[in-house]
Chain A
């Protein structure tokens, strides 16, 4: 059974600045600032090409980065949960 499908806000809603290998995000709809580490910014970037479930996101990520296998799938699930609770992604 396919898992939940996630969507992210438009690029214009999220301002990002890289500092020291971390990424600062200003989320305009909530007015909140988040400090995230890789692969969270990459996950958000991949969601900009359209809604996706975890399997599809893993496929998009592995096409751009050395990000595949079971460990990557586990990390992706954990990051998606964090991004969802932070309000940076939501279920379609």
Chain B
């Protein structure tokens, strides 16, 4: 009898791969999404969102002098002990997940929507400000961008900017 249940389960699995079901959304569903596992890991290659930001200082003539754009894409070195304790890398992965969610929020937003109302925008703006303030204590303004990068096996083959923030004064 159990064998029939297992076969039935496999048939059901195959059917779920063939037929698409509508996506149900909602703020609580988003916060409780771990109850609805998505096992499609690393399945599709495509554009990946990267956060870039830059800081500027006021010159003696009152003009903004910008530093270079810098990437906020997390990179950490490998270490075997991280199998047991890996907070820095996991924080980096969570940061990139948040950037992915920011991209998804922008993608789903209606035409003319102000992204500054998004929680993801506010979180990233705050993060960029704190990080740049540590790097450039004299800086007065910042700006950040969400860039979409398409890679092939040898490197990035195309980039486009999805969103550029206004110039923001440090709070």
A and B bind: no
